[in-house]
Structure 1
């Protein structure tokens, strides 16, 4: 892409480059990844990902065979 079409060319002369003077452009202001889904990002999760939290259906645990009964002490 030619540099004349890049966003930085449009923002030359604009002090904050569209990132705000007060809040500033900091590294991870909302947390990393899916952090805050139950807290400060709840509106987004409820709106765009309904049913993301909670349980549904039955759990099917693996059937374990009965262990062979071993004597407590070995004869001899």
Structure 2
């Protein structure tokens, strides 16, 4: 008997675009991040905690340093995040 219908969906991979990335951060944290100076703590955007596993590269980002945690990034998303002064953390 086939059991493929009993296996979990292996390709389920919800994604978020760069233009929607800052909506995961509360407004007061966004305001604080915009006024911070170099060397201070930066906001961490945890996509996995918000239900997204992949970050895609559609859209633009503000030139504010930040850290993005996700399971996967597209090449264009990584490039745009690094250009904006951010960092990408791949989480397993």
More helix as a share of residues: 2
TM-score (normalizing by structure 1): 0.24
Q: Please, what TM-score do these two structures have when normalized by structure 2?
A: 0.22
Q: In proportion to residue count, which structure has more strand?
A: 2
Which is greater in Rg? 1
Structure showing greater relative contact order (alpha-carbon pairs closer than 8 Å, 6 or more residues apart)? 2
